[in-house]
Structure 1
Amino acid sequence: MNSNNDNSLPADNDVPGESAGGTQRISKTQLFTLISAASVNFSSMICYSILGPFFPNEALQKGADQTIVGLIFGCYAFFNLLGSLILGKYIVQIGAKFMLIAGLFVSGVCTIIFGLLDKLPDGRLFIVLCFIIRSIDAVGFAAAMTSSFAIIAKVFPNNIATVLGSLEVFTGLGLVLGPAIGGFLYQSYGYEIPFIAQGCVLLLMVPLNMCVLPSQDATPSKDSFWRLFTRPKIVLICFVIFSMSSSLGFLDPTMSLFVMEKFNLPSGYVGLVFLGLALSYSLSSPLLGVVSDKMPTLRKWLMVIGGLSSAAGFCVLGPAPFFNIKSQLWLFVLMLAVIGFSLGMTGIPTFPEILICAYENGFEEGLSTLGLVSGMFGAVWSCGMFFGPTLGGFLVEKMNFEWSATIQGGIALIASVLMGIYFIIEGRWKKRSPQTSRNGSHEESSLLLSNGI
């Protein structure tokens, strides 16, 4: 990648690879970036996922209905969307390191404050402050994740999918430990302690990142989000990202209540059910990242196959009434594992595919474009995270979990089918235009696979 605009960008020989002696080596900048990104993924997701096992039931007792609970989850995603768009555009002016550290601090403080809201009287005041605190928290989360994605893509230009896939282990750990520890602490000590404990963990990440995260300097570019959205391929990939995040968001306000009612599980054990999703996602992501980087021609089909598998998992999760299958706990956990693996298969290739498409269409190589792509990724993800719980809460209230999960699976099915049709048409077009195909393949190879970036 061109480093004219940023002297802190690692040189080619800093990229992980074979040294003269044949051993793997990694630069200090890359090592510290990995530590920082891992801490952001872990601490942010552990605070995000803590609500799942017990907050929906707590909110219902405080006077909210199922639709309001879905909106509380959804507002987080809505303001994350706005924050990602704005912060992604101005990441160069704000500074990637400052943005990440400030985001962690804001998110940690908001998590602690959210844990004190049960002291409020039932009804409107509790609901309004839930919306306000979650919205501010969402902006902090957007700042941390947008800057983290951009820095990773800049420091590891040759191995983006591999590094992102490996870091998803820490995302998965956060998703695993958040519900499990949160449910246990809630059952043992009440509503406040889970949020205070998790918020303090997040705040501890602030001085860590101040010490280890390298600074990233760059110059602004004149490119915009709207130019990215002029490419049909990017639009379809964004729809795939949307279907992924809406699937995850759908489960937040609906799954814990369904499990408690259907299988008579206490809150402390509901968090363990989340393990099926989080473990399969986090454990499979590193392998999927390696496959995505080593086999770029296979990367696009991973998105399609992953979407189809996710759709099938949601249809059997309830399961769908037309299957005439009895709902059982082992089947529910198994389908969560299938969904987790499928989401990893779909999601890991999306970021490098968007980045390649942006470079092929004339976007400048540097932190500014990486910020735009990171911001767009976060915005689309947040859009799905708003849509999923909002629609999920409404559908469960009007219908039931079984039909709602089936409808959610239908969204993933539509996204994967449209993406597959596009890739088939693109493949036929390249066969008719061999010169274009060779140029595109050469550019893709030079961007992510060769050591001459």
Structure 2
Amino acid sequence: MIVQEKELFIKEHLLKAEQSPEQRLLQLQKSALPLMITVAFASILYNSMTSFYPIYMATSFPQLGSTHFGIILAIYEVANLIASIVLGLQIGRVKRKNLTINSSIQLFIATLAFTSLDLLGSTQYLTFFILSLNFRVIQGVASAVIQICAYSFATFEMNHDKDTYIGYVEMAVGVGGILGPAIASFLYEYVGYVGTFVFFSGVVFVGIIQSNN
């Protein structure tokens, strides 16, 4: 059994060695595109809440003000920063694809969980605030992991064209940041609070599918 596994490993290694640089580049590009899409989808969630969440809070939980929303928004970046530092020290010891998929699933669950907050009454504003913070922390950590894995992929796997692929990651982050508020504002106006988060959960789910390619 061990001999067969070694023979299979050697065979796969030889097949990879026989690939031309063009074939190797094409293979890596195919694996890079789904990752860039996942990064863009994760980035959408950061700024998307700025366009409608304060409106929803003012309507459903008037006890909460702009300071509370600022904390909800900022906690995402705090979680993102801490997760980036921790993962940056350990990235060489983990499997990037598996980590990206797991983080995308966490991002999906946290985003969909926001729909449950619509069940709370106005007197439960503290519960709403605390749960919002918790969900944003999960989103921030998951987003950080996805982005770090993308940068790691560009650095280690695409070393022949590293600068280009780092640029692709930055572009994906930028596109997501631009589209998030515009899409969220439009959705909130026409499908409401729950519908908006259901849509964004679906977007993240597409990212999960792309990560498996």
TM-score where L is the length of structure 1: 0.40
> What is the distance in 1 between the residues matched to 2:75 and 2:45?
16
> What is the distance in 2 between the residues matched to 1:94 and 1:162?
24
Asked if 1:139 corresponds to 2:141, the answer is: yes
**2:9 alignment partner in structure 1:** none
Unaligned runs of 5+ in 1: 1-6, 20-24, 212-453
Q: 1:86 to 1:167 in 2, by over 3 A?
A: closer
**1:3 alignment partner in structure 2:** none
> What is the distance in 1 between the residues matched to 2:209 and 2:127?
34
> What is the distance in 2 between the residues matched to 1:95 and 1:55?
35
Contact 1:41 1:168 in 2 (8 A): no
**1:161 alignment partner in structure 2:** 163
Alpha-carbon deviation of 1:141? 1.2
**2:185 alignment partner in structure 1:** 183
Asked if 1:172 corresponds to 2:170, the answer is: no
> What is the distance in 2 between the residues matched to 1:90 and 1:186?
39
Q: 1:51 aligns with which of 49, 52, 55?
A: 49
Superposition pairs of residues 214-229 of structure 1, within 5 angstroms = none
Q: 1:67 to 1:179 in 2, by over 3 A?
A: same
**1:98 alignment partner in structure 2:** 98
**2:129 alignment partner in structure 1:** 127
**1:356 alignment partner in structure 2:** none
Q: 1:31 aligns with which of 19, 29, 32?
A: 29
> What is the distance in 1 between the residues matched to 2:52 and 2:111?
15
**Greater RCO, 1 or 2 (C-alpha within 8 Å, sep 6+):** 2
Give every structure 1 segment of 4 or more consecutive aligned residues whose post-TM-superposition deviation is greater than 6 Å: none
Unaligned runs of 5+ in 2: 1-12
Alpha-carbon deviation of 1:26? 6.3
> What is the distance in 2 between the residues matched to 1:164 and 1:91?
16
> What is the distance in 2 between the residues matched to 1:145 and 1:171?
8
Alpha-carbon deviation of 1:160? 2.7
SS at match of 1:64: coil
CA offset digits 1:31-82 (Å, max 9, x no partner): 1232122112221112222212111222234122221111111111111122
> What is the distance in 1 between the residues matched to 2:162 and 2:211?
21
Q: 1:140 to 1:166 in 2, by over 3 A?
A: closer
> What is the distance in 2 between the residues matched to 1:181 and 1:207?
21
Contact 1:51 1:182 in 2 (8 A): yes
Q: 1:27 to 1:160 in 2, by over 3 A?
A: closer
CA offset digits 1:369-425 (Å, max 9, x no partner): xxxxxxxxxxxxxxxxxxxxxxxxxxxxxxxxxxxxxxxxxxxxxxxxxxxxxxxxx
> What is the distance in 1 between the residues matched to 2:32 and 2:98?
17
CA RMSD of superposed structures (Å): 2.3
Contact 1:102 1:144 in 2 (8 A): no
> What is the distance in 2 between the residues matched to 1:192 and 1:150?
35
Structure whose alpha-carbon radius of gyration is higher: 1
The residue identity in structure 1 corresponding to 2:25 is S
- Number of aligned positions between the proteins: 193
